[in-house]
Amino acid sequence: MNSVILLLGYMGISIIGIASYFLGVFHHFGLISLLNQLVNTYTPSQWQVFRLPRWVRNFLALCYHAVVLGCHMIAIHDVLPYIEQDKTSSSINMAALMYHMWLIHTLFYLMCVLTDPGIITPSNCKSLCRIYKYDGVLYAPSAVCSTCNNAKPPRSKHCSVCNKCVHRFDHHCMWINCCIGAFNYRHFIGILVTGIIMCCNGLLITLRFFNTIYQTRKLYAYKYIDSYGQKQPLSGIVLAQYQFYHFPRPFLLACTLLLLAGLLIVFTAYHLLLISKNKTTNEVYKLEKAEVSQRLKSEGYYNRGILSNILEVVAPPSSAV
């Protein structure tokens, strides 16, 4: 009964997030953010042709909700009933952690998409221009956005999709359909970190599920007949085939979580490296194209030391200090 109540509560939170998205509460941003890293042979004017249509971006954002909700539904329907039979504290803690991290992850998501990423307007343009110094390479004092007709603060970039300039622009996340800037970057990191915890914890729960099946059904005593007609103990491949045949959803869940955990760990490590050097994804791409020293490409212009860099992400300045 407690599991059902918690499930309904967390499903309600996810449904609210999806409904809010379709009602237009969320910012209607979206772009293939990784193209400017993966397709380095194209200039910005050239890779604009690869921009996804709005319906595709909306579909990808919906896929994010579907993956999160679908994985939890499989875990609750197929996996947890076996785990709950194990009354050990570790099993109970893993199940509780799954629910709590789902809630925290959803809250980070809502804060990320509902927080102004740092949209530059005529009213805040002057104050944002004083936060950072112009480096004279990527950002010049005389720069003016040809679309917004506002002065371009250092570290800002105009988004051609949302048609806004964004302060300390990092990238556009096509999966959460949101622009990542100065004031929601910390929430974006929260999404990544909680996503890793959810995937790793879910993977451990699923592996414990398969171990429970292995022990309760005494699969270690099973034999199979090979192509020579000889009885052989179950190998890892044969055991995996057995688990996939009898429990396809948990098996696919484990594979999905393993893949997502690996991708999220790499992506999060990349962003933590950027934070440690006070750089953005946009600046990394532009510095690779600029004719500057290798040291500037590596360290960046705005590096103030790792502690100050982290503090700047956790509590981003909204005006000049």
Three-state helix/strand/coil letters over 45-86: HHHHHHCCCHHHHHHHHHHHHHHHHHHHHHHHHHHHHHHCCC
Which tops the pLDDT comparison, 31 or 235?
A: 235
Q: How far is CA 267 from the centre of its chain?
A: 8
Residue 252 has pLDDT above 50, yes or no: yes
Task: Verify whether residue 173 is a known catalytic residue.
Answer: yes
Is the pLDDT score of 17 beyond 90? no
More confident residue, 134 or 54: 134
Mean pLDDT of the chain: 80
pLDDT at 204: 94
Confidence of residue 255 (pLDDT cuts 50, 70, 90): very high
pLDDT band at 16 (very low <50, low <70, confident <90, very high): very low
How do residues 166-205 score in pLDDT, each as one tens digit? 999 999 888 888 889 999 999 999 999 999 999 999 999 9
Least confident among 25-29, 275-279, 310-314? 25-29
Mean pLDDT of 213-236: 81
Please choose, from the candidates 184, 142, 169, the residue with its C-alpha nearest in 3D space to the C-alpha of residue 314: 184
More confident residue, 291 or 273: 273
Cα-based torsion angle of the residue sequence 290, 291, 293, 294 in order, rounded to the nearest 10 degrees: 60
3-class secondary-structure state, position 223: strand
Q: Which one has a higher pLDDT value, 300 or 4?
A: 300
**Comparison of pLDDT for 237 and 40, the residue scoring more:** 237
Q: What is the pLDDT of residues 64-122, one digit of tens each?
A: 889 999 999 999 999 988 877 777 778 788 888 999 999 999 999 999 999 999 999 98
pLDDT band at residue 2 under the 50/70/90 scheme? very low
CA torsion sign, 44 to 49 to 55 to 61?
negative
Among 129, 173, 179, 199, the active-site one is 173
pLDDT computed for residue 181 by the predictor = 93
pLDDT of residue 319: 66
Tell me what the mean pLDDT of segment 49-74 comes to.
Answer: 78
* Residues 180, 313: Cα–Cα separation, whole Å: 12
Q: What angle in degrees, to the nearest 10, is found between the helix axes of 185-216 and 248-276?
A: 150
